Amino acid sequence: MEAWSRLESGKGKTIGLVPTMGFFHEGHLSLMRMAKGLADRVVVSLFVNPTQFGPGEDLATYPTSFAQDQESAAANGAAILFAPTAEAMYPPGSRTTVVVSGLTDTLCGASRPGHFTGVTTVVSKLFHLVRPDLAVFGQKDFQQLAVIRRMCLDLNMGIEIIGHPIVREADGLAMSSRNSYLTGSQRESALCLSRALKLARQLAAGGERSASRLADACRGLITSYPEATVDYISFVHQATLKDVSTVDRNTVLALAVKIGDKVRLIDNGYVRRPVSSYLESSDEPC
């Protein structure tokens, strides 16, 4: 991987990276196509990173479709599908981790201790191996995108981090590899996330600015669906991820909901149309 990147860079080619854990859906493919439009060569990494999974999470059962992923990556602009083993990425004796403080102790960081240390460590390693000029991440993992931006800035990595708007199914469900876990009835219940976002926006458009009252309304909607349990409902500033009490054009609603016993889904979106977006989108991410 390193040798290929050095060769391409030596030819004056720009390299774009799309980090993934595989089992590609249209959301992944849209990231690849965006990268292809911005860089001369696109590398798609496929690595189910063990260090970002906690005890009892779905590392052992995470869905895979390697042969299909190979075909899809090639058809959507990838020059390289980089699929290292866990042993190659974390050889015996590995001791170093990358920690971004401040942005990782709330939202998914509070629910999944150690998760973001796993994310930032593996992304840092991928950046060093692939040597990209830019990397494209989906905005569905809103907190992850903010954390990766902070890491690159703080460590002077010189890589442009680009956020791609959330890609949704026709009924509004944010695309996710974990959607494959849902039963038919659970699939209907999973719509509570996007519908809660819609409700918050409707209430805000009607003049409601209290984050706590909006959260109560969202909670009531979500819990009305069978098998839906709220992990968090948070109204945060788009850049700092700090909770806000009053929503404005910098406010993002971040949601995590457990559907049934096994499936945890996330979603997010601006509550009011932003004047400008820290996520570099000219419109709402969903």
Angle, vertex CA 80, rays to CA 75 and CA 86, nearest 5: 120
Cα 48 to the center of its chain, rounded Å: 14
Alpha-carbon distances of 119 from 81, 201, 214, 220, 268, rounded to whole Å: 19, 31, 31, 32, 19
Listing DSSP states for 35-47 in one string gives HHHH-SEEEEEE-
Question: Over 90: is that where the pLDDT of 40 sits?
Answer: yes
Domain range annotation of the chain:
2-164, 177-270
Cα 92 to the center of its chain, rounded Å: 29
pLDDT value for 282: 35
**pLDDT tens-digit map of 103-162:** 999 999 999 999 999 999 999 999 999 999 999 999 999 999 999 999 999 999 999 999
Distance between CA 165 and CA 238 in Å, rounded? 14
3 state DSSP class of 137: strand
Distance between CA 55 and CA 59 in Å, rounded? 9
CATH of 2-164, one of 3.30.70.1290, 3.30.310.80, 3.40.50.2300, 3.40.50.620: 3.40.50.620
pLDDT confidence tier of residue 267, bands split at 50, 70 and 90: very high
CATH of 177-270, one of 2.40.30.10, 3.40.50.1100, 3.30.1300.10, 1.10.645.10: 3.30.1300.10
pLDDT confidence tier of residue 283, bands split at 50, 70 and 90: very low
**pLDDT tens-digit map of 61-100:** 999 999 999 999 999 999 999 999 999 999 999 999 999 9
Active-site positions read 28
20-55 in b/e form (b: 16+ CB < 10 A) is bbbbbeebbbbbbbbbbeebebbbbbbbbbebbbee
CB atoms within 10 A of CB 272: 16
CB atoms within 10 A of CB 136: 26
Alpha-carbon distances of 120 from 18, 100, 186, 190, rounded to whole Å: 15, 8, 31, 28
For the entire predicted model, the pTM comes to 0.92
